[in-house]
A = this chain, B = another copy of it.
Amino acid sequence: MTNWVYTFGDGKAEGDAAMKDLLGGKGANLAEMSNIGLPVPPGFTITTEVCTYYYDHENTYPADLEAQVKTALAQVEKTVGATFGDGDNPLLVSVRSGARVSMPGMMDTVLNLGLNDVTVEGLAKQSGDARFAYDSYRRFIQMYSDVVLGVDHYNFEELLEILKEENGYIMDTELSADDWKELAQAFKKKAEEELGRPFPQDVHEQLWGAIDAVFGSWMIDRAKTYRRINGIPSEWGTAVNVQSMVFGNMGETSATGVTFTRDPSTGENAYYGEYLINAQGEDVVAGIRTPQNLTKISREKSGSDLPSMEESMPEVYGELADVFVKLEAHYRDMQDIEFTVQKGKLWILQTRSGKRTAKAALKIAVDMAEDGIITREEAILRVEPAALDQLLHPTLDPDAARDVLTIGLPASPGAASGIVVFTADEAEELAKSGQKIILVRQETSPEDIHGMHAAAGILTSRGGMTSHAAVVARGMGRPCVSGAGALRIDMDKKIISVLGRTIQNHETLTIDGGTGEVMAGEVATIQPELSGDFGKLMGWADEIRRLKVRANAETPLDARTARDFGAEGIGLCRTEHMFFDADRIANVRQMILAEDRAGRMEALAKLLPVQKQDFIELFTIMRGLPVTVRLLDPPLHEFLPQQQEDFAAVAEATGSSIEQLKFRADALHETNPMLGHRGCRLGISYPEIYEMQARAIIEAALEVTKGGGASIVPEIMIPLVGSRKELEILKVKVSAVADEIIGASGQKLDYMVGTMIELPRAALQAGEIAKEAEFFSFGTNDLTQTTFGISRDDSASFLDDYIHAGIFAQDPFVTIDQAGVGELVKIAVDRGRATRPEIKLGICGEHGGDPASVEFCHGIGLDYVSCSPYRVPIARLAAAQAKLKE
């Protein structure tokens, strides 16, 4: 018989932390916490296998599930000493979802389940607080109606507002027990009106309704969106946790809170939490009341005059601190903990590894490794490589003038400027057209996720540091300022008023998620400074990884940045990028528009000294490291003059007429330039171009190494090769030039000649091509284009359709397509090595800086990856992780 239900509580559990796949993250952790003796309200978990069964069997359950739930419920009743549905001493439960990985706010939750007209009296009796009992009852009716029965919560909030108005109340706390009782009855009636049938009084009907709702919510749109963004397979399913209720809203000795054992923004080793007295947990997370600090020191820092928990409940705080220590030691990671204090007794409701910023992840990992809590290898695995991006990008220039409108909570670090947009849909739409967006909301909800994803930054007027906006923004790496209460946001008129000033729709704002500042206009930014932790972790990663990491760079600035970020050479120097300067382009145009070889030679003679000077600078910066220089690659017409004055400039330089030049420019137009006369095809047609470039490279290398010292081994790379013969012909020409110059110089210089593998045919013919090539560099941008038959420039019109339809799990230009492009790369690696075992193999497409792709490159045995300078640290870390995951 399959065990569909696992109990926990009372110092023991049927499951444990290792059973996340079956029990979900929350269920596994509740079991684990029970096992280590923490005060967990007893309950049981219905497994993720039930969810799978449910969707495989037209939304029905296994036959034996009901009996197992009954048995588990009886055990909880026995432990708690209360009975589900009992009029005197009723057991109340919460019903929560719990997937394998945390999906904050995505799944529905029902609290206080088990209340009806009879049990509410028992609760009043047991708690000695009728006000609390009826408040709980009306909360339950509202939540259950909303989540399970589909009656919008606004229906109920309206009734509360009316009652308050009629009685002249301002605050909820002014309502009496009778008021809440009256409201509960009104809520029931409202639900019946909306549903056409009475609100369920049978507690078992309530329970199964809630279980259905949890499983049903796995397939609602916002859950699917979250899974899509975060790459979570829908086959995983969710578990359901049914747990006895504890109450943080039983008066002034009760409280509820959420805490991180370390600061999730900075990684500082200090408790970082919020609590509310006399409140239920949802009040903290939903951001409806602004919560109080957990510790005295944080209260003082924030300048709050509301007492911290450390001050107001010193004893319970002490117990809680012990739990923090115990949990962090047990899980060996920073924990995100939900707790409730019921009449002075502490209950732990949930623990999980806390989401954190990249900066925090880095500091926590390094601190824990240095404290011996985890190993260096574990520390390396704890930091998400892609998240490093946050640390490597600009922040606001401290010296720049700031027109600060107000200061909110520093909810997610980083700075962003953009135009103000008020809805998630508009944010997504405008972001697609390339606009930078600041999404402004009173508070965010799961329905806003797509807009938050599209935005450069998020600003809310309500909610704390653990509000939805803050948690989600940190997870996404988006800067966020939350709870900026001075903002008055008019959603209809799309205007923000702040202290007498107004910000119109689409005006530009800047936010600093590290300080909470909200500023008018755009504020200048500066390069990030990296902490010592960064250097330490990178050092540990470098000791582990096998893959070398190079950078794609051609300017001295990029090359220096790359070296600073630890690049071990240049994997791709795109020589055409050196041609776009205003003072060079005329000569390039002259070369392209030349009618014959003589005309081209004349223009090339002018380009040679500047090209050589470029290489001298580059080689000087990269001394001692390999530099791969790709010869001219793009379609010639990319360089063509567009404006009349550009034509005139070339006409003057060459003595040709403008009409002649336009005629020639027309002749160079191509229908599909990506598949046209480019790459080595130019080299075959006009060998003098590659000969000039070879000369510039070799002369520069000789110049740089003339005085001795660290050498340069230029790797001359021929692009877009599809057959051995192409490479053979061009290698002969390039080598002839190189050997002649080296011979005449009297110096010694090694150089290599190799090729890009960026066409399917090149991958298939790699065995033949390797007879000529001393190295392969996989140009996976072009290889992705040709393997899929998709132009990167033109894919935008259908890429979204493709991702939505589930055809692409992710953009194949971002993460390498292992099934197609990856197979071709593997074929090329195998065939290339079979011919020339010592062949050097690397990748220089954008994928070189994508962690999943780096792992793939490690797995198939490449020698190095090459990526943009800012991605070098990401690649270094990803390479180390790939090695550790082997």
Contact = CB atoms under 8 A, between A and B. Distances in A.
Contacts of A729: 805, 807
Contacts of A644: none
Interface in A784-832: 785-791, 793-795, 797-798, 801-802, 805-807, 817, 819-821, 823-824
B685 A798 contact: yes
Given A672-B791, A759-B789, A760-B760, A681 B798 contact: yes
Interface residues of A, number: 48
A625 interface: no
A678 B587 CA distance: 38
Given A671-B674, A759-B787, 19 more contacts: A672-B791, A672-B793, A674-B675, A674-B791, A675-B794, A677-B798, A685-B797, A720-B789, A722-B789, A723-B819, A725-B806, A729-B805, A729-B807, A760-B787, A760-B789, A761-B787, A761-B788, A761-B789, A764-B820
Interface string A294-315: 0000000000000000000000
Nearest to A761: B820
Interface in A743-789: 758-761, 764-765, 768, 782, 785-789
A677 B802 CA distance: 11
A676 interface: yes
Q: Looking at A670, A675, A722, A765, which has the most chain B CB atoms within 10 Å of its CB? A: A675
A677 B794 contact: yes
A673 interface: yes
A764 to B, nearest CB: 5
A726 interface: yes
Given A684-B801, A725-B806, A670 B794 contact: yes
A327 B788 CA distance: 59
A38 to B, nearest CB: 46
A769 to B, nearest CB: 11
Contacts of A807: 684, 723, 725-726, 729
B786 A789 contact: yes
Nearest to A794: B676
Contacts of A760: 760, 786-787, 789, 820, 824
Contacts of A677: 794, 797-798
Contacts of A768: 819
A858 B681 CA distance: 33
Contacts of A676: 790-791, 794-795, 797
18 contacts: A671-B793, A672-B791, A672-B793, A673-B794, A674-B791, A676-B794, A681-B802, A684-B805, A720-B789, A723-B807, A725-B806, A759-B789, A760-B786, A761-B787, A761-B789, A761-B817, A764-B820, A764-B824
Contacts of A785: 675
Contact of A820 (B675, B681, B765, B789): B765
Given A685-B798, A786-B760, A786-B786, A722 B820 contact: yes
A787 to B, nearest CB: 5
Contacts of A786: 760, 786-787, 789
Given A798-B684, A820-B765, A823-B764, A670 B805 contact: no
B672 A788 contact: no
Contacts of A798: 677, 681, 684-685
Given A801-B685, A802-B684, A805-B684, A790 B675 contact: yes
A819 B764 contact: yes
What are the 4 closest A-B residue pairs judged by CB atoms, nearest first? Answer: A675-B791, A761-B820, A672-B791, A676-B794
